[in-house]
């Protein structure tokens, strides 16, 4: 078990766990933010999510005016979802999280884009450090440096759709990627939808869809949230009109 203070830098936590030879969060490398924020939207990437390793968290309950311990099952985790951003939004101040990690080496098959990178680089020996290094390398290519290029990061959730809709879409788009969820529905990459709606590189309202990753929106000259909001709605409307799928914004607005 690894207990982590909520204010700890998340990537530093991942780095330390990997150095200790522990696996379970190595694919969550290079994600900005603090450890305490990871349960809020059930942070995930490259086939891992925080719900898979979090056993419990400590928090201050603003309603009950006391410190409490919430177990994994209490958090209502789902894809990019928890009670902390929905039914109990702003009720809890998370003070620490406890993760159950493993000393067993990561095993293939890995998430598609991660597996592709490993195959292309002839990597066949897998350790937490190897996976962390691969994820960081992928992110450096796919995500712009925010210091040099102001951007939103990954802005849209990957939508989850019913099987009947996926089958309908495959009649026109036979190469549409999908991932089976535990409940029998299918996750479709939002970036693929945006790209195939001919929006990759599209610019308006001072914003632009990043040409290396359609999930990322670049600020070229936008001066307010209204510019981002208008650009977001254009993308959502175009994707909905073409695919009958409504994209949802991933970052939470305060």
Residue positions annotated with a catalytic role = 80, 154, 250
Question: What value, to the nearest 5°, has the Cα angle with vertex 176 and ends 174 and 179?
Answer: 125
Instruction: Enumerate the β-bridge partners of residue 70.
Output: 57
Question: Six-digit token pair at 223?
Answer: 């001066």
Distance CA 68, CA 93 (A): 10
Helix (H, G, I), strand (E, B) or coil at 250: coil
In degrees and rounded to multiples of 5, residue 63 shows phi and psi of -80, -45
Closest residue by Cα to residue 48 from 16, 71, 22: 22
Kind and range of the H or E run holding 194: helix 190-196
Distance CA 149, CA 195 (A): 20
């Amino acid at each position: 078990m690894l207990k982590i203070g909520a204010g700890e830098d998340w990537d530093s936590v991942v780095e330390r766990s990997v150095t200790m030879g522990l696996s379970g969060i190595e694919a969550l490398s290079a994600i900005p933010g603090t450890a305490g924020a990871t349960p809020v939207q059930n942070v995930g990437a490259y086939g891992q999510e925080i719900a898979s390793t979090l056993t419990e968290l400590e928090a201050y309950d603003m309603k009950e005016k006391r410190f409490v311990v919430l177990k994994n099952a209490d958090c209502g985790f789902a894809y990019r979802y928890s009670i902390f951003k929905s039914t109990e939004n702003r009720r809890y101040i998370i003070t620490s999280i406890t993760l159950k990690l493993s000393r067993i080496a990561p095993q293939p098959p890995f998430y598609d884009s991660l597996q592709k990178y490993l195959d292309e680089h002839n990597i066949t020996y897998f350790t937490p450090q190897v996976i962390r290094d691969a994820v960081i390398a992928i992110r450096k290519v796919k995500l712009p440096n925010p210091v040099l290029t102001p951007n939103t990061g990954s802005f849209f959730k990957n939508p989850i759709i019913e099987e009947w809709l996926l089958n309908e879409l495959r009649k026109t788009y036979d190469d549409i990627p999908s991932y089976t969820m535990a409940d029998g529905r299918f996750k479709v990459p939002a970036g693929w939808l945006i790209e195939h709606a001919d929006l990759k590189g599209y610019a308006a309202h001072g914003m632009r869809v990043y040409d290396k990753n359609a999930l990322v929106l670049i600020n070229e000259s936008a001066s307010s949230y209204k510019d981002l909001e208008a650009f977001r709605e254009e993308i959502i409307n175009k994707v909905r009109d073409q695919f009958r799928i409504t994209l949802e914004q991933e970052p939470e607005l305060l």
